[in-house]
């Protein structure tokens, strides 16, 4: 299977003609190829998007017309749910059941933003009374322009949908650069958008390496907004590129999110949610609640239950019946996670379970679910994102201490708290410096709610209404009633 670029409404080879192999993480073998886009392809894609935005119909058409196309895409994703899920599973390694969740969520995202476009257009412009009847003032919102979207490999189609659906709904035109590790479902998305009747140039796909295709996109002066999801290191580069010409930027970056477990909660439920919080998607979750803070009286009891539960997790290729954890996405990612584990051992943390590759799997990038106890809060493994199935535990004695430990991080994407005392949960939820807080659960994510981080976890919000407004510019229009007098040297009272 050879996937092409999609530029100006046509599927084309990269101008340099190269392709990248796409590997199945369960075997390490190549099963597809994707075009290796470079700066010249990015130029062509941005030019097409620029033309579509500056002169085309898309930003100017009624929201209902844009919404109809987005709904067709949602329908097409649902119609191909099984095929897309299998593709996502082979590309990324995740268990098939989890791939199905992602694909269904991506379809929902297109429907949701189709509705949002119509709703926001129906709300119309907002009149503002400035206290001077000679002036009629209003606020209108307009599509922001050409968007350069750069996405990661952990939820390939879903992370793209979080940007493509609201950007298109808002009337923007877009160039998408998915991760070179998992580009295949985005290539399918290009087909659906094309078949749904999207005008040429409105959506463009440039697959390829970060340095070859991502960097030129982030540096391109024809892009009005960069919407990036990925690591902090790359996010910083993207932001620097945006800073050069003062372009809009949103960043969805990593985290090291805390999960505070109080002694009064049901320990079995705490086990279930903390497992899901860090082992789902092989732990390759930006919002993974990978720092487990446990109230001292239940620390050892919870640890034992967590160990038993982790050792019951079935690891294997994502298409095998009953598999709960697949391989990590790549050999490099596998090595990084194993290095992180080695640093945990070197720091003196107690390795409770896991710590290596499962012995029964001879090929593929599998890593055992790993739990460390008594992790020093100044160690690398406690402070940095592992992006793999590694859970770190640390005890606490008081609510204040738990909050202080939870907030002692340069990240602030998410946090979770578990207790039967809901008043306490609310206090903790308010005190956590994070963009997402879960009470008595970890990870449930809804398209209707804003998503994004405090501190080094990012800038801006995706999803919900916030994720739509992120693709709009705000304009004030102020009209003077020219039948009235105006003495230019007499300043307006409220401006003195």
Q: Closest CB to ligand NAD among 95 and 171? A: 95
Q: Give the one residue of 38, 185, 204, 234 binding ligand NAD; rule: CB under 6 A.
A: 234
252 in active site = yes
Q: Which of 172, 182, 186, 286 is catalytic?
A: 286
14 binds ligand NAD (CB under 6 A): no
Closest residue to bound ligand NAD by CB: 210
Q: Does 230 bind ligand NAD (CB under 6 A)?
A: yes
Q: Phi and psi (nearest 5°) for 437? A: -130, 130
Kindly write out the interface string for residues 147-186 of this chain, putting x where it contacts ligand NAD by CB under 6 A and - elsewhere.
---xxxxx----x-----------------xxxx------
- Binding residues for ligand NAD restricted to 284-323, rule: CB under 6 A: 286
**Near ligand NAD by CB under 6 A: residue from 85, 229, 274, 442:** 229
Nearer to ligand NAD, 110 or 162 (CB): 162
- Number of shown-chain residues binding ligand NAD (CB under 6 A): 30
Shortest Cβ distance from residue 24 to ligand NAD (Å)?
A: 18
334 is catalytic: no
Among residue numbers 75 through 114, which ones bind ligand NAD (CB under 6 A)?
A: none
Is the CB of 100 or the CB of 220 nearer to ligand NAD?
220
x-or-dash string of contact with ligand NAD, 387-406, rule CB under 6 A: x-------------------
Q: Which of 180, 252, 462, 469 is catalytic?
A: 252
Q: Which is nearer to ligand NAD, 389 or 458 (CB)?
A: 458
User: Rounded to the nearest whole angstrom, what is the least distance from the CB of residue 288 to ligand NAD in the complex?
Assistant: 8
- Residues of this chain, 195-224, that bind ligand NAD according to CB under 6 A: 210-211, 214-215, 218
Residue of 50, 66, 90, 237 that binds ligand NAD (CB under 6 A)? 237
CA distance 54 to 145: 8
Q: Which stretch binds ligand NAD (CB under 6 A): 32-40, 63-71, 250-258, 290-298?
A: 250-258
Cβ proximity to ligand NAD, 231 vs 440, nearer residue: 231
- CA dist 347 and 279 (Å) reads 22
- Find, among 107, 54, 40, the residue nearest to 80 by Cα: 107
- Residue from 277, 388, 458, 467 touching ligand NAD (CB under 6 A): that is 458
**Catalytic residue numbers, as ranges:** 252, 286
Residues that bind ligand NAD (CB under 6 A): 150-154, 159, 177-180, 210-211, 214-215, 218, 229-231, 234, 237-238, 252-254, 286, 385, 387, 413, 453, 458
């Amino acid at each position: 299977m050879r996937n092409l670029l999609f530029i100006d409404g046509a599927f084309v080879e990269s101008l340099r003609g190269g392709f990248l192999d796409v590997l199945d993480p369960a075997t390490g073998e190549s099963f597809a190829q994707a075009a290796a886009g470079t700066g010249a392809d990015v130029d062509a894609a941005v030019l097409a998007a620029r033309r579509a935005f500056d002169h085309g119909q898309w930003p100017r058409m009624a929201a209902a017309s844009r919404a109809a196309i987005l709904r067709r895409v949602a329908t097409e994703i649902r119609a191909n749910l099984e095929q897309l899920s299998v593709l996502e599973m082979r590309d990324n390694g995740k268990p098939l059941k989890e791939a199905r969740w992602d694909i269904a969520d991506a379809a929902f995202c297109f429907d949701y933003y189709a509705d949002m476009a119509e709703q926001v257009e129906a709300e119309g412009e907002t009149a503002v009374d400035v206290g001077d009847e000679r002036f009629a003032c209003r606020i209108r919102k307009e599509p922001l322009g050409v968007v350069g979207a750069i996405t990661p490999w952990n939820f390939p189609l879903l992370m793209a949908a979080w940007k493509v659906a609201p950007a298109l709904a808002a009337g923007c035109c877009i160039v998408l650069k998915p991760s070179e590790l998992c580009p295949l479902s985005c290539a399918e998305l290009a087909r659906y958008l094309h078949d749904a009747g999207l005008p040429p140039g409105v959506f463009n796909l440039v697959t390829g390496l970060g340095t070859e295709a991502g960097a030129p996109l982030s540096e391109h002066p024809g892009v009005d907004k960069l919407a990036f999801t990925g690591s902090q290191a790359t996010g910083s580069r993207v932001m620097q590129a945006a800073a050069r010409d003062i372009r809009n930027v949103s960043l969805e970056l990593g985290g090291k999110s805390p999960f505070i477990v109080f002694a009064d909660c049901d320990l079995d439920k705490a086990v279930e949610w903390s497992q899901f919080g860090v082992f789902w998607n092989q732990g390759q979750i930006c919002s993974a609640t990978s720092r487990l803070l446990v109230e001292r009286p239940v620390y050892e009891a919870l640890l034992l239950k967590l160990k038993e539960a982790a050792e019951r997790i079935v690891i294997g290729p994502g298409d095998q019946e009953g598999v709960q954890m697949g391989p990590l996405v790549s050999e490099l990612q596998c090595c990084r996670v194993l290095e992180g584990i080695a640093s945990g051992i070197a720091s003196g943390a107690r390795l409770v379970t896991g710590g290596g590759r499962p012995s029964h799997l001879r090929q593929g990038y599998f890593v055992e679910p790993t739990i460390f106890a008594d992790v020093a809060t100044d160690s690398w493994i406690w402070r940095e994102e592992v992006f793999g199935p590694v859970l770190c535990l640390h005890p606490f004695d008081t609510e204040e201490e738990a909050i202080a430990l939870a907030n002692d991080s340069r990240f602030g994407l998410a946090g979770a708290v578990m207790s039967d005392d809901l008043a306490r949960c609310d206090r903790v939820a308010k005190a956590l410096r994070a963009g997402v807080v879960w009470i008595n659960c970890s990870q449930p994510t809804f398209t209707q709610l804003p998503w994004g981080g405090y501190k080094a976890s990012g800038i801006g919000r995706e999803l919900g209404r916030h994720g739509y407004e992120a693709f709009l510019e705000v304009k004030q229009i102020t009209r003077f009633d020219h039948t009235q007098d105006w003495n230019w040297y007499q300043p307006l009272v409220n401006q003195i």
